[in-house]
Amino acid sequence: MSFSLPETFAKLSRYPLLYPSPSPIHPLPTLTRHLNPSPKAGPTVSLFAKREDHCSPLACAGNKYRKLEYIVPDILASSNPHATLEAKATTTLVTEGAIQSNHTVQVASVARRLGLEAIVILHKATGGGLTASSDKNAFLRTGNVQIARLLGAEVRMLENSSTVDDSDPITPILEELRAQGKVPYWIPSGASLHPLGGLGYARCAFEIAAQEKEHLGENGRFDYVFVACGSGSTVGGLIAGFKMLQKIEAQTRQDEKAEGPIGRKVIGILNSPTKPREYHEGRVLAFARRAAHLIGLDSERDVTPEDVHLDDRFAGTAYGELDPTSKGALELIAQEEGVIVDPVYTVKVMRGVMHWVEEGELISDWSRRLETPSSQNRVNALFIHTGGQSALSAYADIQ
C-alpha cells in the first residue's frame, strides 16, 4: 500500500525502521458485540485495532520506532547539536525512562542497527510500578530491563530523578561520555521533547487514511482514534497529520463542490495521574503545532486548543501501576479477542475505549458533532496499539 505526502512533508529526511507495508489494522468483532448490547437503539460502534506492536522487525516493535525514523537522520548527520568543538560522528545514544520503559528498549535497538553504543538511564522513582510490585527484584531485572541488556545497552538505574544538588542528572552523564572522547546524542524520554518527535505520527495519520478504504470502503473513515498519551508527541503528531489531511480534503471538496464527512477525532487517554489534564493539553498542543509547522501547516491557525481531546479518567493510581480495574480489562481483552495489551499504556487506552462505548459517551459525542442529521448507522473507532507487551514479565502479579 502506498500513499503520498504533501511536498513539504515528503522532503523531510526519514530513515526506514518500519516494515515496508503499513502496520495492520483489524476489526475487534467480539469486543464490538460485547460493548454494543443494544445495537438497535442507535448507531453501532465498530472497533478496530492498529497494530503498532507489529510495525517493525526490530526488538519490541512499538510507537517509538515511528518517532525515531525522523530522528535517525539527525543522529547520523556529520554535525549535530551535541558534537564537541569539532564536528564528530555520534558514538553513543543516551536516553531515559521509567524502569519498564518501552522507549529505552527501542532506542537501544536502533543503536544496534546503527552500530552505536547505547546508555539507558532508568529512574526508580518514576511512577508506581516498582513501588507496587510484589517482587521488586524481578521488576528491576526482567521485562524491558532484560531486553535492553540483551541488546547490549549499558543500563544505569537512578534512585531519584535528580542529583544531590537538585540539578539535572543527565548533564553529568553526557559530560562523562565527552570526557572519554565519545560523542553522545541525547534523546529525551519518549522522544517528545526532541524537535522532530511528532513527525512519525503525523505520517501515521496518512497511513491510517490510506488503510480506511481497505477496511471501510471508498468513503469510510475512522471517526474516532484512541491512543495513549504519555509524553504527548504521539497524540500531537496524529492531530497534526489529520489536520493536514482535513485541509487537503477540504481543498479537494472545493474543487469538486462536494460536501465532506466529519473530521477524525483523536482522543488521548492519559496514563499517569501525576500532572493535571491541563498540563498535558498544553504539551500536546505545543507538540501538534511544532509538527504542523514542519509539515507545512500554519501552526497557530490550523491547530487550535479545540483539536486537543484528552481523557484523564483511566490513568489509575500511578504511572506504571496495574490497578485491579486495569488488570481486569487486560484479562478481558486477552480472553475476548486474543489480543495482549501492555500493563502501562494500552490497557488504560482500552479501558477508555470500553467506557466510551459501553456508557454511550461515544455515540452522544458523535451526535453533538453532527451538524446535520445522518443516516450513518455505524461509527468507527480505531484503537492504536502502541506495543509494550515485553514489560508484562516484570509484573509478577499478573497470572
Band (pLDDT 50/70/90 cuts) for residue 162 is: very low
Q: For residue range 317-335, what is the model confidence (pLDDT) as tens digits?
A: 999 999 999 999 999 999 9
Q: Which of 23-27, 76-80, 219-223 has the highest mean pLDDT?
A: 23-27
Q: For this structure, is 101 an active site residue?
A: yes
- Residue 41's pLDDT is 63
Residue 265's contacts (CB-CB under 8 Å, 6 or more residues apart) are 223, 224, 225, 309, 365, 369
Provide the percentage of residues in the chain whose pLDDT is more than 90. 82
**Residue 224 bridge partners (DSSP):** 265, 381
Angstrom distances, CA of residue 79 to CA of 17, 76, 82, 203, 336: 22, 8, 8, 26, 51
Q: Are 395 and 133 in contact (CB under 8 A)?
A: yes
- pLDDT value at 195 more than 90: yes
Rounded Cα gap, residues 378 and 98, in angstroms: 40
Please tell me what DSSP assigns to residue 261.
P
- Residue 398's pLDDT is 78
Q: For residue range 256-294, what is the model confidence (pLDDT) as tens digits?
A: 555 556 789 999 999 999 999 999 999 999 999 999 999
Question: Picking from 203-212, 214-223, 239-248, which range would have the lowest pLDDT averaged per residue?
Answer: 214-223
**pTM for this prediction:** 0.93
Set out the domains of the chain in order of their start, with CATH numbers: 7-58+195-394 (3.40.50.1100), 64-187 (3.40.50.1100)
- pLDDT value at 83 more than 50: no
- Residue 256's pLDDT is 56
* Choice among 23, 56, 101, 299 that is catalytic: 101
Reduced to 3 states, what is the DSSP secondary structure of residue 178?
A: helix
